Amino acid sequence: VVTGLLLAEVNLCTLCELGSGGVSLTSMAQRTLGDLGTNVSVATYLLLHYTLLVAYISKFGSSICEHDDLSNGSHMAGGLVAEIADLPLPLSLIFFTVGVGGVVYVTTPRQLNRINSGLVIGVLVSFFSLLLCAGANVDLQTLQVAHWEAVPKTIPIVSLAFVYHNVVPVIVTRLEEASLAATPDPLDFLRQSEPRVGAIIEVFSLLAITTSFIGFVLGLTDFVSDYLKLPAMNRAPAPYVMTLLPPLVFAIFVPGIFFDALEFAGVFGVLVLFGILPGAMAWSERYSIGSGDDQIRPIMPLLPGGKVVLGIVIGLAGIIIGEDIWDRLVSAIS
């Protein structure tokens, strides 16, 4: 909410100055932070989208076939879909990427909206079905147990969830991994005790991944099209190839990278793009661009608190990023 207000403030000021019908994040960064801000916003935008596409492709493959997780050397078993499809991992990744990406390419916006609406309905139906089937296994006493020491490790995923809501279920798993390593996975317990629950979990996961994948493919192909200066109605395949090929290749050669990719996107994508940058742009807007005596700001600040609040926003995001970098360095050394 805080950084959203800051983005809205800078967006409105930029819109009033440029007088254009639409203002992008890069144009806001260019106006307030110059070339450096523009380069950072573009690089972070590409990093966020490519990383998440790698995560979704990897997760789909791990859901429908057995594979070796190169991140930790373990062997991961596929779910019920794997027993039916029995596809090798690279083929399943290609099938998903080309299949869903091809649908995005060949359909009109109205057709794609209908398809995505159907997928969202499927997500809701499977989610509420999961609640009904698994409700009997809920132990209310466990809700009284809190592990606050695990919260910092979940902040990157939480921040990512605010950018795209389909990532929210991952938070539960990340909390488990951070502090309850010796505790059995509740989802595995449900799968073993209730086979139908396992099927519902897989359906929910695959539908949620597909809807997320479609959204990020659309966003990145539009960005690439703008970068290549292609006409708005152009259906050239180049943006789609540039969007889908790199994450597909990465997911094939680094299986089981789903959670690592999400955490990386949350730290170095979301916290920079929607944490540090909004605070820095608002700071420049208030105290550099519009600070002269002859300057009249078109709107009042949407977020009160002045430099203190802006400093806290930038500082908190910077601390989380710095802590993650430190943890990665310590882990690499040890």
How far apart CA 29 and CA 272 sit, in angstroms, is: 12
Tens of pLDDT along the chain (334 residues) come to: 777 788 888 877 877 776 655 567 777 888 888 888 888 888 888 888 888 898 888 888 776 665 444 444 444 444 555 555 566 778 888 888 999 999 999 998 889 889 989 999 998 998 888 888 776 666 777 767 777 777 666 666 666 565 543 333 333 333 334 444 444 555 555 556 566 777 777 788 888 889 889 988 888 888 888 777 776 566 788 889 999 999 999 888 877 666 677 777 777 777 888 888 888 988 888 888 655 545 556 677 777 888 898 898 889 888 888 887 887 788 778 7
> How many whole angstroms from its chain centre is CA 14?
26
Whether the CB-CB separation of 53 and 244 falls below 8 Å is answered with yes
Q: 294 is written with which tokens?
A: 């002859």
How far apart CA 195 and CA 136 sit, in angstroms, is: 14
How far apart CA 170 and CA 295 sit, in angstroms, is: 46
How far apart CA 202 and CA 191 sit, in angstroms, is: 10
Identify the CA nearest to 59 among candidates 201, 220, 245: 201
Q: 4 is written with which tokens?
A: 């959203």
Supply the Cα-derived Rg of the chain in whole angstroms: 22
